[in-house]
Structure 1
Amino acid sequence: MQPTAYALVATDLDGTLLRGDDTVSDRSLAALARVARAGARHLVVTGRPAPRVRDLLGDLGCEGLAVCGQGAQVYDAGADRLLWSVTLDRELAETALGKIEAEVGQVYAAVDQDGVAGLTLIEPGYLMPHPALPAVRVGRRDDLWTAPISKVLLRHPELSDDELAATARAVVGSLATVTMSGPGTVELQPCGVTKATGLALAAGHLGVGPERTIAFGDMPNDIPMFEWAARGVAMAGAHPELRAVADEVTTSNEDDGVAVVLERLFP
């Protein structure tokens, strides 16, 4: 493939483009500028809901589309509106939680509300895996369901993320899609919704197909995106499940792994 054959660069944020302090390095910004000068597009594809990415997209100079909420939202940053969104049925979410707790005991839950002004609500006992992200603590679980939601986030006091995700997949069935997007982040989202479905929608809007797309990520929630795109690049230290399906492994997010590859592809 020629160096400029990619028309779309899809990047995860946490653990991929972002450093641990939630910033993007100057080197990465310069590499993304190379992409733009070559006439290609950069598309953020993140598990974060749209309200939690506004400032980051501004820092990146992104005024176009972004895929948010694990693919449940296609967000137009310039217009500050959702072009497309799908919600998780709250009754199904409650049923799924009940099935999971019947197997593993109590879990602690949070939800991302739908919409560009949606809140992240957390029930008693839930600890945010990313403490820098704003959240509103509610008094009881029933308070999580007061408005439409895009996903449920789960934590267990003893089980590992892999163990909790495996159990959830085994018992939830078609009630929801189960994914793992980072340390302490097992999630339930609408059935059939993945980063790949959101990426395909956004790419179609931009007139780009999978054969001209390269994707970067670090966690199992990026697997569908890698399967959709022509090339998938995992970060050093990525989850083993993602590394197993990656076409390439680059350096870590702290060592500008995205930039390392883009500098080669867009000289």
Structure 2
Amino acid sequence: MAAPIAYSLIATDLDGTLLRGDDTLSDRSLAALARVADAGAQHLVVTGRPAPRVRPLLDDLGATGLAVCGQGAQVYDAGADRLLWSITLDRELAETALGKIEAEVGQVYAAVDQDGVDGLTLIEPGYLMPHPTLPAVRVDRRDDLWGEPISKVLLRHPHLSDDELAGTARSVVGSLATVTMSGPGTVELQPCGITKATGLALAAEHLGLRPADTIAFGDMPNDIPMFDWAARGVAMANAHPELKAVADEVTLSNEDDGIAVVLERLLGGAAQYGPLTLSIEP
């Protein structure tokens, strides 16, 4: 078995963090994760994607453990293909929140992730998927979004930036929902008080692990609660400035195997990949 690693739990976001822009993992990242497993540490995916959109990736990884999905609203058991825990966003509150946002900024385009291991992503007319590789079902009208329980609402505005839309949404939504920004073109409403840290804490407890055992990797403001919970937070070079501001460390980008760089260092380096270079935030 490899030498012990400093952290027993490696929590990684997916988009913009572990995954490259084409939704693949590099051989170097896969090798680093394999070495982590050999050292006795757990790798936990913590993502905004709902469980059905994560399952194919976990299959590719051969992962049979837990994953935190839906911005922390779901704890998914990949081996059993079931949700150990989930919380839904009240659909009436979601509609009310959406109305308040549109009263401030004009029309937005909405989508929803349905709850459950087989839940669909539904998109209303005008909504463009920020990740075109992820499957979605287009509905005829907004009312059709609310037919089944949902874990979150995704919003896009035709003109406002993500930061502008998220800022306005936070100012008007109040306690109706939690507003997050998880990637380009991805402002979301989720159950009030639910963040990635919520699901991460539940999954870690199930595994018998603590914040002190955890190093977390991310790239967007929705990863801030996860960084606050974990002992160490590592932002990617391509990360949003808000996340870099609270990170303990900034590594290389997702395209340059930034996670692998840090894991190799923690495991004692990997000469076949050359020198390890990263910047440490003060």
TM-score, normalised by the number of residues in structure 2 = 0.93
Q: Which residue of 2 aligns with 1:259?
A: 260
Q: Which residue of 1 aligns with 2:12?
A: 11
Residue by residue over 1:205-250, the C-alpha shift from the partner in whole angstroms, topping out at 9 and shown as x without a partner, is 0000000100000000000000000000000020000000000000
The aligned runs of 1:115-264 (5 Å cut-off) are: 115-264=116-265
Residue by residue over 1:103-155, the C-alpha shift from the partner in whole angstroms, topping out at 9 and shown as x without a partner, is 00000000000000000000000000111100000000000000000000000
* Aligned-partner SS, 2:10: strand
* Aligned-partner SS, 1:237: coil
Residue by residue over 1:60-112, the C-alpha shift from the partner in whole angstroms, topping out at 9 and shown as x without a partner, is 22100000000000000000000000000000000000000000000000000
Q: Which residue of 2 aligns with 1:96?
A: 97
Cα distance in structure 2, aligned partners of 1:54 and 1:254: 22
TM-score, normalised by the number of residues in structure 1 = 0.99
What letter is aligned with 1:101?
E
Q: Which residue of 1 aligns with 2:271?
A: none
* Aligned-partner SS, 2:252: coil
Alpha carbons 1:110, 1:122 under 8 Å: kept: yes
What letter is aligned with 1:163?
E
Cα distance in structure 2, aligned partners of 1:110 and 1:5: 40
Residue by residue over 1:169-194, the C-alpha shift from the partner in whole angstroms, topping out at 9 and shown as x without a partner, is 00000000000000000000000000
1:10 Cα deviation after fit: 0.1
What letter is aligned with 1:24?
L
Alpha carbons 2:238, 2:254 under 8 Å: kept: no
What letter is aligned with 1:131?
P
Alpha carbons 2:4, 2:40 under 8 Å: kept: no
Q: Provide closer, same or farther for how the CA distance between residues 172 and 156 of structure 1 changes in structure 2, counting only shifts above 3 A.
A: same
Alpha carbons 1:71, 1:196 under 8 Å: kept: yes
When the two structures are aligned, how many residues end up with a matched partner?
A: 266
User: What are structure 1's unaligned runs of at least 5 residues?
Assistant: none
1:3 Cα deviation after fit: 6.8
Q: Which residue of 2 aligns with 1:62?
A: 63
Cα distance in structure 1, aligned partners of 2:174 and 2:226: 21
Cα distance in structure 1, aligned partners of 2:218 and 2:261: 14
Cα distance in structure 2, aligned partners of 1:213 and 1:105: 42
Cα distance in structure 2, aligned partners of 1:158 and 1:22: 27
Q: Which residue of 2 aligns with 1:25?
A: 26
* Aligned-partner SS, 1:159: coil
Alpha carbons 1:3, 1:264 under 8 Å: kept: no
User: What are structure 2's unaligned runs of at least 5 residues?
Assistant: 269-282
Query: What is the aligned-residue RMSD (CA, Å)?
Result: 0.9
Moved over 2 A (4+): none
Cα distance in structure 2, aligned partners of 1:138 and 1:28: 38
Cα distance in structure 1, aligned partners of 2:15 and 2:225: 17
What letter is aligned with 1:231?
R
Cα distance in structure 1, aligned partners of 2:196 and 2:100: 25
